Amino acid sequence: MTNLTDRNADQAAREQGRTARLSRQVLLIEDEPNIIEAISFILSRDGWTVSTHSNGETAVETVQRINPDVLVLDVMLPGRSGYDILQDLRADPATRDIPVLMLTARGQKNDRELAERLGVSKFMTKPFSNAEVLETLRQIAGD
């Protein structure tokens, strides 16, 4: 027999889990305005808190400052490549464990292999579907 206190505790736990998922912080490092708008929209609608950044030269500092739950990282950025950024993030104990979804218009096998050697969590080739991005981010965030 479940008493009222147990039901309230169960409900509170469900709501806390939902709130935790809904308040996940994602940092999108991308320089293409259409991609920024599309990804920001679908993630915000799903309850994510989205921050964006478009400069490869200052990307590592932005990741360190924001400390997101998940990072979406473009390969080709002005100033610095996503590969270089990923390498620096994986070398820093403060950012090494942040899940990273890397996006690229270049889907060559060697691009994917390089990203995997550098420690990417998932690698996705543009164009991609909204559902694909959402499912992948949920997966690497542990939802």
Q: Please check whether residue 125 lies inside any domain of the structure.
A: yes
Q: What's the total number of domains in the chain?
A: 1
Residue 109: give its domain's CATH number: 3.40.50.2300
Q: Give the pLDDT of the chain (143 residues) as one tens digit per residue.
A: 544 444 454 444 444 444 444 579 999 999 999 999 999 999 999 999 999 999 999 999 999 999 999 999 999 999 999 999 999 999 999 999 999 999 998 778 899 999 999 999 999 998 889 999 999 999 999 97
User: Mind listing the pLDDT tens digit for each residue in 37-47?
Assistant: 999 999 999 99
10 Å Cβ neighbour count for 68?
Answer: 24
Residue 79: give the domain boundaries. Answer: 24-141
Locus of tokens 């889990």: 17
Q: Which two tokens stand for residue 80?
A: 């610095």
